[in-house]
């Protein structure tokens, strides 16, 4: 293969990676502009997606051309040869896709700007180190790098986190004082002024982040916008305020919904217009490098220096539109994008409930400090003012609306959604005007956290979990920078020394990794769909609760039986891999039963008056299901540890006894299932289950005696005995919990029959 063909293939690979990067990039950044509209239910999902998609397509045409940072923002291209540059760009794209895909799989938003910048930094440092090592007469490693830009990005992370959270909290506090949670009763004049200010701010955002960068805008129009921005904003403010006031007087026009939808469009437009270059800038820079190489008459790629990249090369409008279309399609069909949005919504929703993140020591300390500070402020502020403020933050109207709407209830109201979009627009606009390296992801996420904090969403029921969640996401941002540099540098080293073979191998591995994470995400999505309880916002009748109990018991019984079967097989064959898989399945089962138990308050809040009698039994069912999970853990974990430590396996007789007990438990569980499913349970049915249990307990007792005989005969060791007795004890517990589950479910059915009479 000649040199030209080889590098042409690399350019094609970069183009394919660009399309893939667009997909994973949109998946990650969709949260920036979808969070507020989806969380507040400002419109149907299709309408929100359509508005966002139009904003993305519109914004794609506003891209100012090839991303400068890809060509000369992080390193000095004139110091690198063509072959060096192509290795850097290829390493960056492979790393970017891997990192963003991993973050998306776990539903964590991160910054595409930071990832691309630090990937370029890592890869460039690796190649610079190689160049200085080969030629001692060249400049030092840092002379190849634009260190100022890297420090700007790091400071931008800190600035985004602190400023965005503080500004969001302050603005939302004022907003809530103006609107309270009973938005319908807000003063019409005040809401018109607030609406005018909000739309003016969003208009300013569109001018600063959008139109001024449009490739089709003339220099005169851009200059006019720049010179008269303040006047234009004032005109917008007056116009929209008057229009909103008139609409308030004569119509039922929803100003907040309008602001949310316009804000969604503007942020989607800004994302495409500015962050698009994060995904296609590097491949375009690679194509420009290849064009320079071809124009040079195919000079030696190892000596042809890339000073040509220092110039400005515009991007064809058709290519920008094509990128916009790819982003639109991704926006509509990406399930991972919804996972990332869900993380942001979970951390900002108004109500408490199942929390995704665990508490941490730092979070607990912050909550304790905040509570003490709150008490101090309460003692200083006059009681009259405190009571008035508390009335404005009374969530009763919002909770009442949620109860009425049921499953259609929003995560938070439109006052918060509008506030989040307005503050994000203002901060990003100011940051752009002042040339501050504010990340769109960081700003929008932290503003959302700030507004939710000010709205009282971080109450004592959920504060420690929300703070831990925010810390996890913010920590992930810093990990992005570190991991991006390290991984990109490692891949660049591999490409340089491994050549075409290393390039092919790593690209294939990256493809396999994306396929694997896709399967993982699909599994997580299916699990989440299974776990999504119907009681979430749905009125629960007695029949519904009974059916839920049956479904959960059946699922749990099948899981326990499957786990027990495979544990015995793993012990028999001393198969550590099988036991690891069983342990992983148990973890999933355990999480599920815990989630059911933790979310029982949601079911209680949404039950009808008629369900009060059965709810006690339903709570008992959930308790016993948790106990089933605990028993399963004592089947799996000691067996896994026993096998890992290479202790002596069970004898054939012991294995046979365990299989026998397992068969009896299976028959017992299936009998219980058949009885609770038929809908009517007689006294004879109860006696039959009790007889099954008695027989099973006798079998367990007999097996224990057999083991005691083996101990006296000296045919089994200490470790063997400890594990065997552990397993027999859990079989006994499974038998007891099975009967308890049957009784609780039976009582629910009997109560239902009494109500019908």
User: What are 148's two structure tokens?
Assistant: 């100022």
The phi, psi pair for 311, rounded to 5°, reads -80, 175
The answer on pLDDT for 533 being more than 80 is no
| Number of CB atoms found within 10 A of residue 536's CB | 15
Q: Is the pLDDT of residue 529 over 50?
A: no
Q: How far apart are CA 65 and CA 120, in angstroms?
A: 19
Residue with tokens 């190849």: 144
CA distances from 308 to 82, 87, 159 (A): 10, 17, 34
Angle at CA of residue 34, ends 29 and 35, nearest 5°: 100
- DSSP letter at 557 equals H
DSSP letter, residue 4: H
Instruction: Report whether 424 contacts 172 (CB < 8 A).
Output: no
Q: How confident is the model at residue 538 (pLDDT cuts 50, 70, 90)?
A: low
Residue pointed to by tokens 């949404």: 606
Mean pLDDT is lowest, of 29-33, 200-204, 214-218, 571-575, for 214-218
The predicted pLDDT at position 489 comes to 92
Of 108, 187, 200, 229, nearest to 521 by C-alpha is 108
Tell me the range of 336-350, 557-571, 676-690 where mean pLDDT is highest.
557-571
Instruction: Check residue 75 and report its DSSP letter.
Output: B
- Both structure tokens of 516: 């694997």
Q: Alpha helix locations (H) across 680-717?
A: 683-713
CA distance 384 to 229: 43
Question: Which pLDDT does position 59 carry in this prediction?
Answer: 73
Of 133 and 31, the structure prediction assigns the larger pLDDT to: 133
Euclidean distance between CA atoms 280 and 709, whole angstroms: 74
Please state the separation of Cα 726 from the chain's center in Å: 39
Range name among 258-272, 448-462, 729-743 with the lowest pLDDT average: 448-462
What value does the mean pLDDT take over residues 201-209? 73
The string of DSSP codes covering 382-438 is -HHHHHHHHHHT--HHHHHHHHHHGGG--SS-HHHHHHHHHHHHHHHHHHHHTT---
28's tokens: 């990650």
Averaged confidence pLDDT in the chain: 78
- Cα(264)–Cα(45) distance, integer angstroms: 13
Ordered domains of the chain (ranges, CATH): 3-528 (no CATH), 535-756 (1.20.58.220)
Q: Mean per-residue pLDDT for 441-468?
A: 76
Q: Please enumerate in sequence order all residues whose Cβ is within 8 A of that of 245, keeping only pairs 6 or more positions apart, or say none.
A: 188, 189, 192
Rg (alpha carbons) of the chain, rounded to whole number: 31
Q: Is the pTM of this model over 0.75?
A: no
Contact (CB, 8 A) for 735 and 665? yes
Q: Which of 105-114, 445-454, 569-578, 709-718 has the highest mean pLDDT?
A: 569-578
φ, ψ of residue 253 in degrees (nearest 5)? -60, 130
- Find, among 459, 279, 475, 246, the residue nearest to 355 by Cα: 459
Q: State the Cα–Cα distance between residues 671 and 557, nearest whole angstrom.
A: 11
CB 300 within 8 A of CB 4: no
Q: Are 444 and 31 in contact (CB under 8 A)?
A: yes
Q: Which of 176-180, 347-351, 416-420, 746-750 has the lowest mean pLDDT?
A: 347-351
Contact 334, 233 (CB under 8 A): no
Identify the CA nearest to 554 among candidates 442, 456, 671. Answer: 671
- 276: pLDDT confidence band, cut at 50, 70 and 90? low
The size of the chain, in residues, is 757
Residue with the two structure tokens 């067996």 = 639
Does residue 39 contact residue 410 with C-beta atoms inside 8 Å?
yes
Q: Which residue has the higher pLDDT, 495 or 33?
A: 495
Q: Distances from the Cα of 537 to the Cαs of 182, 395, 406, 411, 603, in angstroms?
A: 20, 17, 4, 11, 9
Who has greater pLDDT, 348 or 722?
A: 722
SS3 607: strand
Tokens found for residue 400: 């009442």
Whole-number Å distance between alpha carbons of 81 and 302: 6
Contact call for residues 104 and 339 (beta carbons, < 8 A): yes
Q: Could you give the percent of the chain with pLDDT greater than 70?
A: 77
Q: pLDDT at position 602, please? A: 65
Q: Which residues pair with 75 in a beta bridge?
A: 145
What confidence tens digit (pLDDT) does each residue in 705-741 have?
Answer: 998 988 888 888 888 889 999 999 999 999 999 888 8
Please choose, from the candidates 216, 268, 190, the residue with its C-alpha nearest in 3D space to the C-alpha of residue 428: 268
**541: part of which helix (H) or strand (E)?**
none
Helix (H, G, I), strand (E, B) or coil at 140: coil
Q: How far apart are CA 301 and CA 150, in angstroms?
A: 28
Q: What are the angstrom distances between the C-alpha of 432 and each of 65, 205, 208, 438, 463?
A: 17, 9, 7, 8, 33
User: In angstroms, rounded to a whole number, what is the distance separating the alpha carbons of residues 19 and 326?
Assistant: 7
Q: Among 621, 635, 647, which residue's Cα sits nearest to residue 727?
A: 635
pLDDT band at 153 (very low <50, low <70, confident <90, very high): low
Beta bridge partners of 540: 607
* Whether 233 contacts 203, CB under 8 Å: yes
Q: What is the pLDDT of residue 532?
A: 46
Q: What is the DSSP letter of 540?
A: B
DSSP state of 218: -
Nearest to 78 by CA among 252, 247, 308, 300: 308
């Amino acid at each position: 293969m000649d040199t030209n063909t080889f590098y042409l293939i690399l350019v094609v690979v970069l183009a394919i990676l660009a399309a893939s990067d667009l997909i994973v990039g949109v998946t990650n950044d969709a949260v920036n502009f979808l969070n507020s509209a989806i969380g507040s239910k400002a419109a149907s999902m299709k309408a929100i997606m359509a508005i966002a998609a139009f904003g993305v397509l519109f914004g794609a045409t506003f891209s100012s051309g090839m991303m400068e940072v890809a060509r000369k923002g992080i390193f000095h291209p004139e110091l690198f040869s063509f072959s060096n540059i192509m290795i850097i760009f290829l390493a960056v794209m492979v790393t970017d896709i891997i990192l963003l895909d991993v973050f998306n799989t776990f539903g964590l938003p991160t910054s595409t700007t930071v990832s691309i910048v630090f990937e370029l930094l890592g890869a460039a440092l690796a190649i610079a180190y190689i160049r200085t090592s080969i030629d001692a007469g060249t400049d030092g490693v840092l002379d190849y790098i634009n260190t100022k830009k890297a420090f700007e990005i790091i400071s931008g992370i800190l600035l985004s986190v602190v400023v965005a959270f503080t500004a969001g909290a302050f603005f939302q506090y004022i907003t809530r004082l103006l609107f309270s949670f009973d938005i319908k009763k807000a003063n019409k004049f005040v809401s018109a002024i607030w609406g005018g200010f909000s739309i003016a701010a969003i208009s300013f955002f569109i001018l600063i982040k959008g139109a001024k960068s449009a490739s089709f805008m003339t220099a005169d129009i851009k200059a006019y916008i720049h010179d008269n921005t303040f006047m234009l904003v004032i005109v917008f403010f007056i116009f929209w305020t008057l229009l909103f006031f008139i609409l308030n007087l004569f119509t039922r026009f929803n100003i907040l919904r309008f602001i949310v939808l316009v804000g969604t469009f503007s942020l989607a437009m800004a994302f495409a217009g500015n962050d698009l270059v994060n995904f296609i800038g590097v491949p375009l820079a690679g194509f420009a490098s290849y064009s320079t190489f071809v124009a040079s008459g195919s000079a030696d790629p190892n000596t042809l220096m890339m000073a040509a990249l220092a110039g400005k090369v515009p991007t064809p409008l058709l290519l920008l539109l094509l990128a916009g279309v790819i982003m639109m399609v991704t926006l509509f069909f990406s399930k991972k994008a919804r996972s990332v949005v869900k993380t942001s919504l979970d951390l900002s929703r108004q109500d408490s409930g199942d929390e995704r993140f665990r508490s941490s020591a730092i979070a607990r300390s912050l909550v304790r400090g905040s509570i003490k500070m709150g008490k101090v402020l309460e003692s200083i502020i006059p009681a009259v003012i405190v009571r008035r403020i508390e009335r404005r933050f009374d969530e009763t109207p919002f909770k009442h609306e949620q109860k009425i709407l049921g499953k259609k209830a929003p995560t938070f109201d439109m006052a918060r959604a509008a506030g989040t979009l307005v503050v994000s627009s203002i901060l990003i606009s100011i940051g752009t005007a002042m040339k501050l390296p504010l990340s769109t992801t960081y700003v929008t996420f932290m503003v959302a956290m700030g507004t939710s904090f000010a709205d009282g969403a971080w109450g004592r029921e959920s504060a420690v979990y929300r703070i831990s969640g925010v810390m996890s996401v913010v920590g992930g941002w810093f990990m992005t920078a570190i991991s991006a540099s390290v991984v990109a540098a490692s891949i660049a080293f591999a490409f340089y020394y491994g050549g075409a073979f290393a390039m092919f191998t790593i690209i294939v591995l990256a493809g396999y990794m994306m396929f694997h994470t896709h399967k993982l995400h699909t599994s997580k999505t299916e699990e989440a769909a299974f776990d999504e309880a119907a009681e979430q916002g749905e009125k629960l009748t007695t029949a519904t609760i009974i059916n839920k109990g049956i479904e959960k018991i059946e699922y749990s019984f099948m899981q326990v039986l499957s786990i027990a079967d495979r544990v015995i097989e793993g012990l028999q064959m001393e198969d550590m891999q099988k036991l690891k898989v069983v342990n992983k399945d148990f973890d999933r089962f355990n999480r599920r039963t815990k989630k059911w138990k933790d979310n029982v308050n949601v079911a209680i809040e949404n039950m009808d008056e008629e369900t009060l009698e059965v709810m006690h039994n339903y709570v008992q069912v959930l308790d016993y299901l948790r106990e089933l999970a605990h028993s399963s853990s004592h089947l799996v974990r000691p067996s896994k540890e026993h096998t890992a430590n290479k202790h002596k396996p069970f004898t054939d007789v012991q294995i046979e006894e365990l299989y026998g007990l397992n068969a009896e438990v299976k028959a017992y569980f299936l009998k219980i299932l058949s009885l609770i499913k038929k809908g009517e349970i007689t006294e004879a049915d109860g006696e039959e289950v009790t007889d099954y249990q008695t027989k099973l307990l006798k079998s367990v007792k007999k097996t224990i005696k057999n083991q005691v005989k083996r101990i006296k005969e000296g045919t089994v060791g200490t470790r063997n005995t400890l594990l065997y007795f552990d397993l027999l004890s859990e079989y006994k517990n499974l038998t007891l919990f099975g009967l308890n589950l049957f009784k609780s479910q039976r009582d629910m059915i009997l109560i239902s029959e009494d109500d019908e009479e």
